[in-house]
Amino acid sequence: MSTIARRVVVRGVVQGVGFRYHTLDRARSFGLVGWVRNSPDGTVEAWVQGDEARVAEMLDWLRHGPRASRVERIDIDDAVPDELSTFEIRRGHFSAH
């Protein structure tokens, strides 16, 4: 099993619609680790890490998000896997690493 990581920025109507909580549930159901948080610019940022196929499924889900959201675009960057053990919602905005 090959572990990969992706840093994702989701743009559109993605704050105030439960996006982070749906992302948390979906990522955990896929067995992924990482985090999701709101950014001051109105986007949602996520770090998604795990099995390559499961990360791909998560990225597909993020392109649409939960029903109440309206995703306009997602930006995906390759990342080096980190020492993470769970998927969580982070508060505030901090640098990715």
**pLDDT exceeds 70 at position 95:** no
Q: How far is CA 84 from CA 63, 70, 71, in A?
A: 24, 29, 27
Q: What is the pLDDT of residues 47-84, one digit of tens each?
A: 999 999 999 999 999 999 999 999 999 999 999 999 99
Alpha carbon 22 to its chain's center: 10
One of 3.30.720.210, 3.30.70.100, 1.10.10.10, 3.40.50.720 is the CATH number of 3-89, namely 3.30.70.100
Residue numbers annotated as active site? 20, 38
pTM as predicted = 0.91
**pLDDT exceeds 80 at position 1:** no
Domain boundaries, the chain: 3-89
